[in-house]
Amino acid sequence: MSEPQITVLDAGGQYCHLIARKVRELGVYADVRPSDTPASELAGRKGLIISGGPSSVYEEGSPKIDPAILSQSSAVLGICYGLHLMVHELGGVVRRGALGEYGLAVLNSTGSHPLLSALGPGSQVWMSHRDRVESIPPGFEIIASTDTCAVAAMAHKEKPLLAVQFHPEVVHTEHGREILAAFLFEICRCERDWDPADRIGPIEEHVRKVAGSRNVFFFVSGGVDSTVAYSLCLRALGPDRIYGIYVDTGLMREGETEFVRELFQSLGAKAFRIEAAEAEFLKALEGMSDPEMKRHAIGEQFVRVQERILNSSQFLDGSWILGQGTIYPDTIESGGTAKADLIKTHHNRVAGIQKLIEEGRIIEPLTSFYKDEVREIGKELGIPSRFLQRHPFPGPGLAIRCLCSESVAVLERRLQGWLIPVRSVGVQGDSRSYRPALLLEEPPSIEALKTATRLTNELSEINRVVSKVASRLDIEHMEVTRGFLTSDRLTRLRLADAVVRRHCEESGFDTQVWQFPVVLLPVGDGHAPDSVVLRPIHSVDGMTAQVVLMPADLLQKMANELLEIEGVSAVFYDLTHKPPGTIEWE
């Protein structure tokens, strides 16, 4: 490609790469550059987009832009932190807000600016910020607001400088595609020069180039990402050059090992085997409760198992490299760009894997793609839909859905509900949070969902809200119990997950959600020490997610059966969008 028409300036935002992808989907080539790229290197661009990010513009060391880009001929669109940078550089004021705004918000457009011409009254947008604009720069006007954000969008009265507080690039912003299209074609006057359809050919060429004369071995999981990556290498290099190993960690779902065996037989794998390693993984996780420690332990144990297998085979003779199904969200959530915040370290980005990357011993065909794109590629490869449409399942398996506690603690009564002193990971304003959840006594409903959204914005001590569905105990008699990753607790979670999946498949509810994590929470009493948390969500690419409410009769039927599992005291329902909560709890 020649010079791109659009450049996305990366300020460390979780959605930075997604912005460039959405621009390319509209038929315009875009690249991503650091936020402080000199204006002289961006001359000739028809438009620049400044991404969101986890920092605050008034903090020392926060990402900057070359101010000269705001006086060049290129149009500039600031998104979230990008809006704050524009305000800060041009003489406005940004302050810390009293309330955050995470997830859904309703936009009130104050005029007929071309950027927002596709929006009707009360359009839904997706927010993730706590800082707010106290005063806009000279020459600008406010073109949209929300109930808690006075400056949700602004535009210069004469120059092509625009900014929005919300994220038009995510799927949960209504008309986000139209907003970006208006910027590209009405404001920047871009021409279509990119075809997003042809992906497999360039990927296969990349595989052949990276692999060279070397063969590729995969530690496969049976998930969509590793299966598609394996299939791409199989197609690019041929079955004689690909070897697949499935490591049974003991952290998998019921029936998963047999499912994976069937899957790889159907793909035409010539060399495939299963390695039993449950005892090794449980020993590595013994006594751990911190999610980052668990993720690192799992990732490093994978490396140790891999090294043991490699040392006992022919894979270290220099003619083999490791293949992985890493996708873009794995990289960005692991702090994979210069200014991005670490949300959670994915198992394919731990230190041992980073060392292999530095040594040039890794091939990852899918690192530029999102989950929905990976499914589309898999479909083009001819992988059966019953494999491709499986709900995403995390690489660390049930370990990050089995929350742990080192000590007993009481639930704390609050005006709004009960504070559960067990922390989960969240993402707020593009930054990692690690905070307790709030338990509402009311059952899940649309009103409870609205309450949950309001409370996560208002209360800085929490990042997640759950609702009580059913319980053997009154809430005042529950406590946080002491519990770690043991065979008993994993069996309990595996049974609960199997109950949920069976009811979802029999009712057809599994087709209405993108993912349905089932979480084991150490909340109960001495007789039944755990509770089950249900988290059905809708997403497209995993970068944002919206809670899905289940039909009441199905939920009650499911909850009744879950309470029959030995050791389960209650069933809760997660009412938290992403952001402010991550899809998984850890």
User: Do residues 48 and 69 make contact, with C-beta atoms less than 8 angstroms apart?
Assistant: yes
E-only strand ranges, 407-478: 409-410, 412-413, 418-428, 431-440, 464-471
Judge whether 80 counts as a catalytic residue. Answer: yes
Q: Is 523 helix (H, G, I), strand (E, B) or coil?
A: strand
Catalytic position from the list 169, 373, 479, 586: 169
Q: How many helices (H) and strands (E) does the chain have?
A: 15, 26
Judge whether 167 counts as a catalytic residue. Answer: yes
Calculate the CA dihedral of residues 50, 51, 56, 60 and round it to 10 degrees: -60
Question: Cα 217 to chain center, whole Å?
Answer: 27
| DSSP-derived pairing of the beta strands 242-248 and 271-276 | parallel
Q: Is 447 helix (H, G, I), strand (E, B) or coil?
A: helix
> How far apart are alpha carbons 573 and 530 in whole angstroms?
14
> How far apart are alpha carbons 138 and 91 in whole angstroms?
7
Task: Find the helix or strand (DSSP H, E) in which 453 lies.
Answer: helix 446-458
Sequence-separated (6 or more) residues with CB below 8 Å from residue 305: 247, 275, 277, 280
Closest-CA residue to 292 (of 342, 356, 243): 342
Half-sphere exposure of 271 (CA within 13 A, CB side): 14
Closest-CA residue to 77 (of 51, 110, 41): 51
User: Do residues 550 and 389 make contact, with C-beta atoms less than 8 angstroms apart?
Assistant: no
Half-sphere exposure of 401 (CA within 13 A, CB side): 26
User: Do residues 49 and 56 make contact, with C-beta atoms less than 8 angstroms apart?
Assistant: no
> How far apart are alpha carbons 156 and 86 in whole angstroms?
11
Helix axes 224-237, 200-211, angle to 10 degrees: 70
Closest-CA residue to 352 (of 394, 297, 313, 401): 297
> How far apart are alpha carbons 286 and 57 in whole angstroms?
42
Judge whether 280 counts as a catalytic residue. Answer: no
Dump the DSSP string for 225-276: HHHHHHHHHHHHH-GGGEEEEEEE-S-SPTTHHHHHHHHHHHTT-SEEEEEE
Quick one: three-class SS letters along 92-154? Answer: CEEEEEEEEEEEEEEEEECCCCHHHCCCCCCEEEEEEEEEEEEECCCCEEEEEECCCCCCCEE
Catalytic position from the list 17, 84, 88, 167: 167
Calculate the alpha carbon distances from 363 to 206, 214, 320, 443 in Å.
9, 11, 10, 47
Catalytic position from the list 16, 80, 188, 402: 80
What is the separation, in whole angstroms, between the first and last Cα of the chain?
40
Structure tokens given for 464: 């997640």
Active site residues: 80, 167, 169
